[in-house]
Amino acid sequence: MSKCPAVTIENVHKSFGPVRALRGLDFTIQRGEFFGLLGPNGAGKSTLINALAGLVRPDSGKLAVMGYDVESEYRDARKRLGVVPQELVYDPFFQVRETLRFQAGYFGLGREVEPWIDELLDALDLMDKVDVNMRALSGGMKRRVLIGQALVHKPPVVILDEPTAGVDVELRRQLWSLVKRLHGDGHTIVLTTHYLEEAEELCDRIAILDHGGLVALDTKADLLARGISKTLHIHTSERARNLPPALADKIKRITEDYIELSFSLSEDSVMEVLDTIRDAGVHVIDIRVEEDDLEDVFVQLTRDARQ
């Protein structure tokens, strides 16, 4: 078990009637990774998470957490996994501290976990809510409690399913501060999010799913290198006039002292574009090149997968 991946996914298939939710997914997540699991709605992300958590049984294939099979060794697998669900699921009859105590009890933990509960409550800014009933909390506060529930048994693997959906900026920063700390302490973090700038900032490696299949699996740097276009921002001394027709389809915007062009990495050269502009008599003061970000790459990859 000592050298096994944090999460193992081997040729996993799952269908719900005629809908093929997972189509032979096959990849691993290494220990200590900050891993992004991305995809549009209906891509299969939630089905995969539910299968890892033991809430859905795959039709075929193997899933394991820290080397423990999620079906045949489900108790060991679940002890090593914490899931923060996208939905606000909670017991309305308990107070905040009681909720965390009950969750710890499901994993055989008793009073010895109280110092860790206090640490979690403090980190999640919930100390002034410990005796408040769950029903009385705001949506953002409920989400904090869900994160506490996922972490109360100190699992080595933590799955965050849209953890910042619908939360304010302050809470989002607090959540990421805590998550970064967990990652720094050696936890494996698996993140699903529709805020792709979060994945671009936080994740080391990223898998992109669509229609239950694996569209891409690569490091963040290599995914960004797949960008197909660049945007060239050019500041000029005066309005550019008499630009050649060859640039017409590349110009996105032009003003009295500015030109914005989009060009293909595979077909166009920045230097050739600049030379063409200078040859037209335009005096260039400053230039800035903007490359595709993760969102641009994501859109292109999922679009290509559907064609």
> Does 81 or 88 have the greater pLDDT score?
81
Give the per-residue pLDDT at 128: 93
- CATH fold of 7-224 reads Rossmann fold (3.40.50)
pLDDT tens digits for 136-177? 998 888 888 998 999 999 999 999 998 877 777 877 888 888
List, as one string, the DSSP characters of the chain.
-TTS-SEEEEEEEEEETTEEEEEEEEEEE-TT-EEEEE--TTSSHHHHHHHHTTSS--SEEEEEETTEETTTTHHHHHHTEEEE-SS----TTSBHHHHHHHHHHTTT--GGGHHHHHHHHHHTT-GGGTTSBGGGS-HHHHHHHHHHHHHTT--SEEEEESTTTT--HHHHHHHHHHHHHHHHTT-EEEEE-S-HHHHHHH-SEEEEEETTEEEEEEEHHHHHTT--EEEEEEEESS---S--GGGTTTEEEE-SSEEEEEEETTT--HHHHHHHHHHTT--EEEEEEEE--HHHHHHHHHHHHH-
CATH 1.10.12 for the 229-291 domain, yes or no: no
pLDDT tens digits for 25-70? 999 999 999 999 998 888 899 999 999 999 999 999 999 999 999 9
pLDDT exceeds cutoff 90 at 301: no
pLDDT exceeds cutoff 90 at 118: yes
Give the per-residue pLDDT at 82: 94
**Where residue 294 falls among pLDDT bands split at 50, 70, 90?**
confident
pTM for the model stands at 0.78
**Where residue 2 falls among pLDDT bands split at 50, 70, 90?**
low
State percent of the chain over pLDDT 90: 46
pLDDT tens digits for 189-205? 999 988 888 888 889 99
> Does 75 or 290 have the greater pLDDT score?
75
Start-end ranges of CATH 3.40.50.300 in the chain?
Answer: 7-224
**Where residue 250 falls among pLDDT bands split at 50, 70, 90?**
confident
